[in-house]
Amino acid sequence: MSKFILKRFLMMIPVLVGVMFITFTINYFTPGDPAQAILGAEATPEAVEALREELGLNDSFIEQFGRYMWGVVTRGDLGTSYQTFQPVLKEITDRYPTTFLLALGSILLATVIGIPLGVISATRQYSFLDNATMVGTLIGVSMPHFWLGLMLILVFSVNLGIFPASGFYGPSYWVLPIITMSVQNIATFTRMTRSSMLEVIRQDYIRTARAKGLAEKDVITKHALKNALIPVITTIGMRMGAAMGGAVVCETVFTVPGLGKMLVDAIKARNYPVIQGGILFIALAYSFLNLFVDIMYGYIDPRIRSQYGGKKKGLKKEEAKKEGGAA
C-alpha cells in the first residue's frame, strides 16, 4: 500500500508544476500593465517604468518564471500582493478557511441527502419515487450556481427576510451559499449512487445473499452498498475539489470573503501574484484531496491492495505452506 501512496504522491509533482507554468504564462501574455493598474491612469510614464523595474516586470519570461519557481520551491514564497503589499501566502491562509467551510458544508449536505436518495431510488426502480427523483436530479444538475443563488436571495432574503443576503459572519449566513453549492452535488451523488447500486444488486453474490434468507435491509446495507460506494467515494472527492474551485461564483454572488472572491478581485486588478498563488493553492488542495480519495479507494477495494503488495504476501504464505508440507 505504501508503494501505491508514493506513486500517487509523485504524480502530483508534474501536475503542480504544470499548473504553475500555465498560470504564469497566461498572466505574462495577458494584455495590460500591472504597474499602470497599481498607480492609476494619471501616473506618469516615468513612475510606471520605475515600478515595473522594481517589480521585475521588465525581465524576460524565463527570468520571471525561474525566479517565481525558485521562491516557491525553496522558501514557499508565493510573492507579494500588488494591492495590499502583504505576502500572498498570508492572504490565502486568511481566506481559505472560509472557502473550505463552504465547500465542506455543501459536500456533507449533498452526501447526507444524495446517497440515501440514490439507494432508495435504485431499490424502487421505475416507481413513481424513482422517476420523480430522476427528474429532480436532472433539474438540479442543470441549474447554474449564479442563477440559483440569486433566486434564493430573492425568495429567502428579499421577500421572506429569513436569511441574510451577503457576508459569512455566522451560521445564518452559511445557509444560502451552502445550499446553492450543494444542489448540483446532491443531484450528482444521487444519480451516481443509483447507477452503481443498480449494477451491484444484479450481481450473483447479491442473489446468493437473498437466497440464503437474509433480510433485504441487510442485503442492501451490508453487501450491496459497500461495493456500490467505491465509485461514489471517488466522485465525492472530485466534487470536493471542484467545490473549492467553483466557489468563485458562489462567493461573488453572496459576497463571501473567501478564496474565490479574492481571485475575482485579483483578476480585476491584474494582481498577478495573488492569481498565481490562489490557483496554485486550489490545485494543491485538489491534488491532496484526490490523493486522500485514492488512499481510501485502496483500503476499500481489495484489488488495489493485492496489486500493491498483497500478491507478494500471498505468495510468501503459499511458499511457507509448501515448505511446511514438504517437511
Asked if residue 66 is part of any domain, the answer here is no
Distance between CA atoms of 244 and 241, rounded to whole angstroms?
A: 5
Do the domain assignments include residue 25? Answer: no
pLDDT digits (tens, 9 = 90+) for 68-84: 899 888 888 888 888 88
Q: What is the pLDDT of residue 111?
A: 93
Contact (CB, 8 A) for 252 and 261? yes
pTM > 0.75: yes or no: yes
Give the pLDDT confidence score for residue 159 in this predicted structure. Answer: 92
Q: What is the mean pLDDT of the chain?
A: 84
Q: Give dist(CA 74, CA 91) in Å, integer.
A: 20
- The residue-averaged pLDDT of 58-66 equals 88
Rounded to 5 degrees, what angle do the CA atoms 100, 156, 144 make? Answer: 55
Query: What local confidence, expressed as pLDDT, does residue 233 receive?
Result: 84
- Number of structural domains (the chain) is 1
What percentage of the chain reaches a pLDDT higher than 70?
90
The pLDDT score that the predictor gives to residue 315 is: 43
pLDDT of residue 327: 46
CA distance 161 to 165: 9
pLDDT band of 326, cuts 50, 70, 90: very low
Any domain includes 57: no
CB distance 300 to 230 below 8 Å = yes
- For residue 264, the domain's CATH number is 1.10.3720.10
Report yes or no on 77 lying in a domain. no
Q: What are phi and psi of 87, to 5 degrees?
A: -60, 135
* Per-residue pLDDT, 303: 65
Whether 141 maps to a domain, the answer reads yes
CA-to-CA distance for 186 and 189, rounded, in angstroms? 5
Query: Is residue 294 assigned to a domain?
Result: no
Asked if residue 275 is part of any domain, the answer here is: yes
Q: Check if the beta carbon of residue 194 is closer than 8 Å to that of residue 122.
A: yes
Q: Which three cell numbers stand for residue 132?
A: 420523480
Domain boundaries, position 194:
91-289
The residue to which cell 504597474 is assigned: 35
Please say whether the beta carbons of 263 and 279 come within 8 A: yes
Within-domain flag for 2:
no
Average pLDDT over residues 167-190: 90
pLDDT surpassing 90 at residue 53 = no
Residues 289/240, Cβ–Cβ less than 8 Å? yes
- What are the cell numbers at 155? 425568495
Residue 248 reports pLDDT greater than 50: yes
